[in-house]
Amino acid sequence: MAFTAKILLLGSGELGREFVISAKRLGAQVIACDSYAGAPAMQVADGHEVFSMLDADLLAKAIEKHKPDFVVPEIEAIRTEVLADFEARGVTVVPSARATIMTMNRDRIREVAAVELGLRTSRYRYAETLEEVLAGAAHTGLPCVIKPVMSSSGKGQSTVRTARELEAAWTYAVANMRGDRSRVIVEEFIAFDYEITLLTVRSREGVSFCPPIGHRQERGDYQESWQPTPMSSAALSAAQDMARKVVDNLGGYGIFGVEFFVKGEDVIFSELSPRPHDTGMVTLISQNFSEFDLHARAILGLPVPEVRLAGGAASAVILADREADDFRFEGWQRRSRHPAGKSICGCSASRRPGPIAGWAWFWPRRRMRTRHGPLRRRLRARCGLFMGDEGEGPSRPLPQAGGECLGMASTAISS
């Protein structure tokens, strides 16, 4: 069977699964890799490999074995020097080996943004010891945010409000870091009005943007997101200008999740991921082309169409509090009966540490403008995640993604 391209996907989580589906629709062959068997992307890929991508020898062997046209990282914990070596030999790393190296570590991408490009960021210092954490907090002031320079989905991040909390925050960050670097970033706490993800596509045709996505986090964990989010044209233009500068600096083709804090008309660069973003899962129903479709098209050198919104939308994630192989969803069928709503649930079952995640999306009526009242009541979540043998164990209710998030998305459309 002939394929348009061969892709080696490094990391096979829920985001990777959606990327595999998009890439295969465009005729690509995908080999999914991760450190455990049965990962979500492996379930839909053409083949798979199980190994630690922090093992340089095993990573090199996988690339040599499959001889891919594209190596597509989906996680942070990768021996990026191996990718740089293969790129020098002619293998295409997405978006580029340099971009992967820079963005796998918060210290490097922060230096690119703040020092090379002069973008506005929060005050910050790096620390590799508790003493350096204390000095960093003295520089930024309290409250401050402490997080590993390398982590996944915000793990290890905490907000410190008093000096007594600094040691616990340092310990928490180191315990939840990815890779083998015991290094954290201590940064100024920005009392922002809201934060956004600006999905930025860099392709052969240039740089384009998806409508801004608002999102909410707790301790660095993604909780809810909605698209579009209301923001002024001046703030949006500033965010797009900064995003364009940083992705052009990094180079390569694909989608970038660029995060910003917004306070009034001021836009502050936060972070960047050179791949589909968890807050962008909402694009599976909000846009004519999802973030995964856009990523695949840009990688394969295909034209990137104009992105159109089908309506305001919101997404929420269920974060489990334990490992489980036996779990089920209940109540999502009732959610699907609402004429203004559309729900999709999915999750991965594995023995690996970390949360089991399930998503549900809600589609508002285009003309909904209120943030409260009937909208909140109509879209109240009735979905739960049950874990344990024969359904035993407490349920995990879906976060309230309806009224507030969809109200903001609908307000953005009506305005």
* Three-class SS of 333-395: HHHCCCCCCCCCCCCCCECCCCCCEEEEEECCCCCCCCCCCHHHHHCCCCCEEEECHHHCCCE
Annotated binding residue at 325? no
Show Cβ contacts of residue 392 under 8 Å, excluding neighbours closer than 6 positions.
Answer: none
Annotated binding residue at 155? yes
Annotated binding residue at 278? yes
Rounded CA-CA distance 146/44 in Å is 37
Give CA separation, 97 vs 83, 104, 311, in Å. 6, 11, 36
3-state secondary structure of 220: coil
Annotated binding residue at 167? no
Annotated binding residue at 188? yes
Annotated binding residue at 87? no
Rounded CA-CA distance 89/82 in Å is 11
Token couple for 364:
């508002």
Annotated binding residue at 312? no
Note if the bond before 399 is cis, omega within 30 degrees: no
Annotated binding residue at 189? yes
Cβ–Cβ under 8 Å, residues 20 and 9: yes
Annotated binding residue at 263? no
Rounded CA-CA distance 401/235 in Å is 25
Annotated binding residue at 342? no
3-state secondary structure of 19: helix
Annotated binding residue at 74? yes
Q: What is the largest CA-CA distance in the chain?
A: 62
Cβ–Cβ under 8 Å, residues 265 and 283: no
Annotated binding residue at 15? yes
Provide the CA 66 distance to its chain's centre, in angstroms.
27
Annotated binding residue at 106? yes
Annotated binding residue at 156? yes
Annotated binding residue at 251? no
Tell me the backbone φ, ψ of residue 284, rounded to 5 degrees: -60, -25
Annotated binding residue at 146? no
Annotated binding residue at 259? yes
> Annotated binding site for Mg(2+), which residues?
259, 271
> Annotated binding site for ATP, which residues?
106, 147, 152-157, 187-190, 195
> Annotated binding site, which residues?
14-15, 74, 106, 147, 152-157, 187-190, 195, 259, 271, 278
